[in-house]
Copies of this chain bind each other. A is one copy, B any other.
Amino acid sequence: MKSPLPQPTRAELAILRVLWKQGRCTVRQVHEALRETQEKDTVYTTVLKLLQNMAEKGLVRRDERDRTHVYEAALNEQKTQRDLLRDLMDRAFGGSSASLVIQALSLKRATPEELEEIRKLLDKNEGGRK
* Chain A residues near B (Cβ < 8 Å): 10, 13-14, 17, 78, 80-82, 84-86, 88-89, 91-112, 114-115, 117-119, 121-122, 125-126, 128-130
Contact = CB atoms under 8 A, between A and B. Distances in A.
Contacts of A108: 89, 95, 97
Among the interface residues A104, A110, A114, which one has the most CB atoms of the partner chain B within 10 A?
Answer: A104
A52 to B, nearest CB: 22
A95 to B, nearest CB: 8
B98 A81 contact: no
25 contacts: A10-B91, A13-B92, A17-B92, A17-B94, A81-B92, A82-B103, A85-B88, A85-B100, A85-B104, A85-B107, A86-B107, A89-B107, A98-B111, A98-B114, A98-B115, A98-B118, A101-B101, A101-B105, A101-B110, A102-B117, A105-B121, A109-B128, A109-B130, A118-B122, A122-B122
Contacts of A93: 81
